[in-house]
Amino acid sequence: MSIQTVATQPIAGQKPGTSGLRKTTPEFQKHHFLENFIQSIWNGIGGVQGKTLVLGGDGRHFNTEASQVVLRMAAASGAAKVIVGQNALLSTPAASNLIRKRKADGGIILSASHNPGGPEGDFGVKYNTANGGPAPENVTAKIYAATQQISEYLIYETQDIDLSAIGESTLGGMTIEVVDPVADYAELMEQIFDFEALKAMFAGGFRLRFDAMHAVTGPYAKAILEDRLGAAPGSVINGVPSTDFGKGHPDPNPIWAKPLVDEMMGPDAPDFGAASDGDGDRNMIVGRGIYVTPSDSLAALAANATLVPGYAGGLKGVARSMPTSKAVDRVAESLGIECFETPTGWKFFGNLLDAGRATLCGEESAGTGSDHVREKDGLWAVLFWLNILAKRQISVADLMADHWKTYGRNYYSRHDYEGVDAEAANALMDNLRARLADLPGTSVAGLTVTAADDFAYDDPIDGSRSAKQGIRISFDGGARVVLRLSGTGTVGATLRVYLETVETEALDMDAQAALSKVIAAAEELAQIKARTGRNEPDVIT
């Protein structure tokens, strides 16, 4: 066993995006690609000498090999300890919890989230800081700078380390502690939620369907929902993680989790349906006969939070990403608490959570979470909903109808144009950006523009400014269009068009119908068809 110093050169394209570095698996497997990036993380954070790190991933293809590399590189650079999930598995929220609970200095999460996995799929590496959350922009900037200067990396030459058995071993001077990936997380959930009320609900015949989408949440969902809470065996489906997610797309939305949605809309639907993504931080909530948008889910959780023991004292504040609908804003207003609008990406919530300014956070992209960890948390959101239903003894459909009656309904949809020519997508954004100042007061597709800007965020805690975070155009009456380019895609550009309108009377419309004018306005403003060469979006959620 010896430490090797390997000469290398900067590799282009190692700039972390919305959520770490995400590339196709073949790209990640290229010579030195992973090693360069890991060494650049070490270099960007001031080294790992004497530090304790957490390591785990969502189990996709290359997870096993990459975790061996991370361990060998951590040991070679003098880390004191790495706490790693058994078989190198950890859901993203479980990793965040472990970093916090064990007071680690940071962690490496191997995941490309909801992107497909497998030899031709995607892979990703994310660095989380000591608060358990994704590295903020000032840290990712240092990591990126390090990728551009790298000239060598350090790695231990050794046999593969056995990660299948729980316990401790050493690699050079570093301790490797293999832990049960589920235990600490399950314990945290038990502290937050009323497990007795949930057990009673399941004992009373409440029927649940949880689709783990062949991804990492399967073991977590089985252990908590079936084993601890008594949901009927088989309530968790697709619960065995596989390296290519059963050749599926582990993204919990009505497109990729269609079989679940179909079942929930069918004649013998269970009481509650839910799904989670590749690394377990996203969630989809479906009631019998009703799909709940993530924006509405955040609002409903905020409105009912005090029914959950962990939030019985009330919420300090709420936060949503800018493109997320404003449904939660009205709940915050009625609760008399602050509501923050942040750029897309969970890393922007970290400061607000750390400072005790926000308790609940959410994104329209199926992400909901709270100050219990510093990542969004799929299974936590499911338990939150179940806890509310158990306390209110009400169906999801009735709960939402009641919510909309009280607060009004924000009809919402996101239209994605994927794999668009990057130049054309940038030109579309640039062209619109150049016209923003002239838009207020003009009429577009029958709607009057009241405000138009390119969203810039001034972090209220550390004062940092993040500019160019998406174009937002508001219309008279509360409707809104937001356009931005994805920061997680791996092929070409993905244009996301977020559409929203508010109704206080017509509460039972089809979302696309309710949004027809806003959709027409977006097209007229941005000439999406002409500029992308697409007649319709690839994905509508």
Q: Which residue lies nearer to Zn ion by CB, 347 or 403?
A: 347
Q: How far is the CB of 438 from ligand G1P (least distance, A)?
A: 27
Q: Give yes or no for residue 283 binding ligand G1P (CB under 6 A).
A: no
Q: How far is the CB of 393 from Zn ion (least distance, A)?
A: 32
Contacts of ligand G1P in 306-335 (CB under 6 A): 321
Q: How far is the CB of 79 from ligand G1P (least distance, A)?
A: 27
Distances (CA, A) of 320 to 93, 256, 361, 382: 18, 24, 6, 18
Q: Show the binding pattern over residues 58-97: x = contacts ligand G1P (CB under 6 A), - = does not.
A: ----------------------------------------
Largest CA distance in the chain: 72
Residue from 217, 488, 490, 532 binding ligand G1P (CB under 6 A): 488
Q: How far is the CB of 106 from Zn ion (least distance, A)?
A: 19
- Range 401-422 burial, b when 16+ CB lie within 10 A, else e: bebbeebbbbbbbbbbbbebee
Q: Which residue lies nearer to ligand G1P by CB, 291 or 346?
A: 346
Q: Give yes or no for residue 18 binding ligand G1P (CB under 6 A).
A: yes
List contacts with Zn ion (CB under 5 A).
113, 277, 279, 281-282
Structure tokens at 427: 């030109």
Q: Give yes or no for residue 249 binding ligand G1P (CB under 6 A).
A: no
Q: How far is the CB of 366 from Zn ion (least distance, A)?
A: 8
Structure tokens at 308: 């959950």
Are the C-beta atoms of residues 90 and 179 closer than 8 Å to each other?
no
Of 77-85, 153-161, 340-348, 505-513: span binding ligand G1P (CB under 6 A): 340-348
Residue from 25, 113, 387, 501 binding ligand G1P (CB under 6 A): 113
Q: Give yes or no for residue 39 binding ligand G1P (CB under 6 A).
A: no
Q: Give yes or no for residue 344 binding ligand G1P (CB under 6 A).
A: yes
Q: What is the DSSP string of 425-474?
A: HHHHHHHHHHHGGG-TT-EETTEEEEEEEE--EE-TTT--EE----EEEE
Residue from 137, 211, 329, 363 binding ligand G1P (CB under 6 A): 363
124: three-class secondary structure by DSSP: strand
Residue 140 binds what, of ligand G1P, Zn ion, none (CB under 5 to 8 Å, by partner type)? Answer: none
The CA distance from 427 to 483, in Å, is: 13
Which one of the listed residues 67, 111, 113, 235 is annotated catalytic?
113
Are the C-beta atoms of residues 281 and 57 closer than 8 Å to each other?
no
Rounded (10°) CA dihedral 217, 218, 223, 226:
120
Are the C-beta atoms of residues 107 and 79 closer than 8 Å to each other?
no
Place of tokens 């030109």: 427
Q: Give yes or no for residue 487 binding ligand G1P (CB under 6 A).
A: yes
Are the C-beta atoms of residues 210 and 225 closer than 8 Å to each other?
yes
Residue 277 binds what, of Zn ion, ligand G1P, none (CB under 5 to 8 Å, by partner type)? Answer: Zn ion
- From first CA to last CA, the distance across the chain in angstroms is 52
Q: Which residue lies nearer to ligand G1P by CB, 86 or 111?
A: 111
113 catalytic per annotation? yes
Q: Give yes or no for residue 342 binding ligand G1P (CB under 6 A).
A: no
Residue from 311, 346, 348, 412 binding ligand G1P (CB under 6 A): 346
Structure tokens at 214: 């062949």
207: left (phi over 0), alpha (psi -120 to 50) or beta: beta
Give the catalytic positions in this structure: 113
Catalog residues that contact ligand G1P under the rule CB under 6 A.
Answer: 18-19, 113, 321, 344-346, 363, 365, 367, 486-489, 496
